[in-house]
A and B are shown apart, each in its own frame.
Chain A
Amino acid sequence: MEFLSGNEAIARGAWEAGCHIGTAYPGTPSTETMETFATLPDVYAEWCPNEKVALEVAMGASAAGARVLVTMKHVGVNVCADPLFTASYTGVNGGLLLLAADDPGMFSSQNEQDSRYYAMASLVPILEPSDSQEAYDLAKAAYGLSEEFDVPFMIRSTVRISHTKTPVEVGQREAVPVKPYETDPAKWVMMPAFAKPRRKVVVKRVEAMKQWVETCPFNRIERGDDSIGIICAGAVYEHIKEACPDVSVFKLGVTWPLPAQALRDFAQSVDKVYVVEEASTYLSDAVRACGVALDEFVVPLPPDGEVHPEDILRSLGRPLPPHRDTPQDVPGRPPALCPGCPHRLVFKELARLKAIVTGDIGCYTLGALPPLSAMDTTLDMGASVSMAHGFELALAGSEHRPVVGVIGDSTFAHSGLSSLVNTVYNRGAGTICILDNRTTAMTGQQGNPFNGITLQDRESTELNLPAILEALGVDHVSVVDPLDMKAVRATLKEAVSRDELDVIIFQSPCVLLSKEKEPTYFVNEKCRACGVCVSLGCPAISTDRESGFTSIDPELCNGCGQCEQYCAFGAIEQA
């Protein structure tokens, strides 16, 4: 018996199914899946620059006959939607499993989209576990099914599955040989002449899968009191068993395609039938489309965010446990850039410039929060570069604030590159700051093409960022130490003063990469309580609310020295 998170369980299940190759781009809550898979014997695993590349590499490996695991967070499925929809036509050779880890409640994401819509739209079946044992079982079973139905399989997790550890009865790895590959353009070359017959194959396959799910053991009915029947899947199933263990439950392990006849029969067998799901109406709509007339809860479930046992109790009109009130005087505790984060000062300077800052996805999105408050937009991976171009286009010819895009090194490799190609190609202007901290920090310090570290520590090539930018034809490229306030200020000032494209690489390693610490700083008696150092938003610097005098916590201070450069009175010194 092992005690595994859902992510670890999926990796283990895939490994036992003989999966040979893993590809991924890290993203919370999916990241540990590929990290775990990479540590298992006799597998090859790699980080790819983005999810589209990851799925395409996986499809190549599958076509060649290997069993493959591809993992990503929910928004990654948007990035690989293009190959996904056509992979449904080509099908597979070696089995392929794609993990989409959703984030209802948005603990670490920009939206709470439901990956099951992708399964339905691309006609790719999707499995949905409700604990780590099922995550393991389903992942392991998916490979045989993928090969049997000749289609990639998806497995949907949510943050409560991916990041909850539960007991798992594991087994042995099955040694599965790589299947032989034979040239077959009618299967693999999706031009119209071949895609049209493959479309017919898809139609037939969907019919076969609809038959399969009617009796598939992953779907099950747990009979309770027949006055209430609830249809559900995933973590919500566990919440239902907690809140109302007495009701009848139709627990789905496959959420596309749905077992239409079995669902109608279940609905007939109970007085009232409900769907419980979170952050989406996917399942309710899909169950209705099967011909089930759903009853409405007296108190509707929350339409957004997670559903918890208390929401289900409330909807069923059942009592909630008594509890104390939350005190009203507890200050918020938002996350913040780490003490010593090398890119803090850049945001301070951007705020000073009163720039319009198009931001991106990563730790540095925290530059949007007070007191730095130096970000105007964040949309998706790579959008900082392309949205900056859009701002420049719309504001052209008017007196406008400088437009500056801010993007991390891994995000730039993910999709900033193609955005920058567009800006260069269309002679766009503006300033792009690449905050190069030598890692993919937010998701836990993974390798990427610009730090040359690979998932299994294989030899790699660290891409030369300035050389790439120059080769692209960027007008002005500079590399600046972001801990040097004067250099940051001067470079930004020069860049925004001209109507040309500037890319500034602010290069300094993430503070979490090094355990070594410079001597800390302290505030001496020269402090005039001006508050400038506090405006850096460093968790090590605090101000006395009454006097305004500041102090530095030596436990938290990492000795980066950014604050010292902002003190006009020489009141901050190094110990």
Chain B
Amino acid sequence: MFMSESQTYTILLCGVGGQGTITAADLLARVASAAGKCCKVSEIHGMAQRGGAVTTVVRFGDKVSTMVCDEGCANNIVSFEITEALRNLAFLAEDGVLVVNDEEIKPLPVLTGKASMPAHARERLVEMGATLIPAGALAREAGTAKCANVVLLGALAPSLPFEFKIWEDVIRENVPPKTIDINIEAFRLGVAYAQGE
């Protein structure tokens, strides 16, 4: 779904501490800024980064007030992990777009056998209209599993009002020089996957 130019967008990126949500949010914010939008990025540091559930919120538009995302307010959720997509489902706007990395990371209570992973998580997400994307596999195809976050940004890109050129320019300027080609390829694979859905 493509939304209007003048609207204020709220994108919630969620995942597990250490997965690179903050880096992805930073790239997204640079794209929005390069496109002339006002932008705010709110992230949580500290204890949650030790493998806990983390969320980062990116908001952009002609005017942006709050930096948080309440329930029903996210135009897009980009989840770096399947369980975290379910955990954050309530934040998605009714007509919101959900992009989910098709990867499961078991939390400690599951690892120790005290809790179970949610049943049929993939099916439930697909039923809700989510795009499940094998970001890890696509990232490896591009060159390294480390650029899975850029694959996910690629999958997000078609639903945002920014030309792909802006995205690619921002990626070029902000990733380590040696990894530019890999990251551009990762971005394009993400875009292609989302558009092929």
Contact = CB atoms under 8 A, between A and B. Distances in A.
Interface of A: 3, 28-29, 31, 107-108, 131, 159-160, 163-167, 235, 238-239, 241-243, 245, 306, 308-310, 320-327, 329-338, 363, 366, 369-371, 442-444, 531, 534-535, 537, 539, 541-545, 548
A153 to B, nearest CB: 25
Nearest to B70: A310
Given A3-B39, A163-B45, A238-B67, A331 B109 contact: yes
A89 B190 CA distance: 61
Given A165-B29, A331-B107, A363-B50, A309 B68 contact: yes
Nearest to B81: A333
B50 A108 contact: no
Contacts of A539: 51, 108, 111
A165 to B, nearest CB: 4
Interface residues of B, number: 57
Contact of A167 (B38, B92, B119): B38
A323 B92 contact: yes
Contacts of A306: 68
Contacts of A332: 107, 109, 115
Contacts of A160: 42, 67-68
Most buried by A among B66, B94, B106: B66
A326 B87 contact: yes
Nearest 4 interchain pairs by C-beta: A108-B46, A323-B72, A321-B72, A335-B52
B47 interface: yes
B9 interface: no
A327 B64 CA distance: 30
B49 A335 contact: yes
A277 B29 CA distance: 28
Given A164-B40, A321-B73, 14 more contacts: A164-B42, A165-B29, A245-B65, A310-B71, A320-B72, A322-B94, A325-B89, A325-B90, A326-B90, A329-B118, A333-B83, A363-B50, A443-B46, A542-B106
A161 to B, nearest CB: 9
A565 B130 CA distance: 44
A320 B47 CA distance: 31
Interface of B: 16-17, 26, 29-30, 33, 38-53, 64-68, 70-73, 83-84, 86-87, 89-94, 106-119, 124, 128
B71 A323 contact: yes
A545 B110 CA distance: 8
Given A322-B94, A330-B118, A107 B41 contact: no
B58 to A, nearest CB: 9
Nearest to B46: A108
Given A241-B65, A310-B71, A334-B108, A323 B86 contact: no
A444 B16 CA distance: 17
8 contacts: A3-B30, A164-B67, A166-B67, A310-B70, A321-B71, A331-B83, A335-B51, A543-B112
B48 A324 contact: no
Contact of B111 (A235, A322, A543): A543
B45 A330 contact: no
Nearest to B18: A338
B39 A167 contact: yes
B33 A3 contact: yes
A348 B41 CA distance: 39
Contacts of A545: 113, 116
Given A321-B73, A326-B90, A336 B46 contact: no
Contact of B70 (A165, A309, A326, A336): A309
A331 B72 contact: no
Contacts of B90: 323-326
B44 A338 contact: no
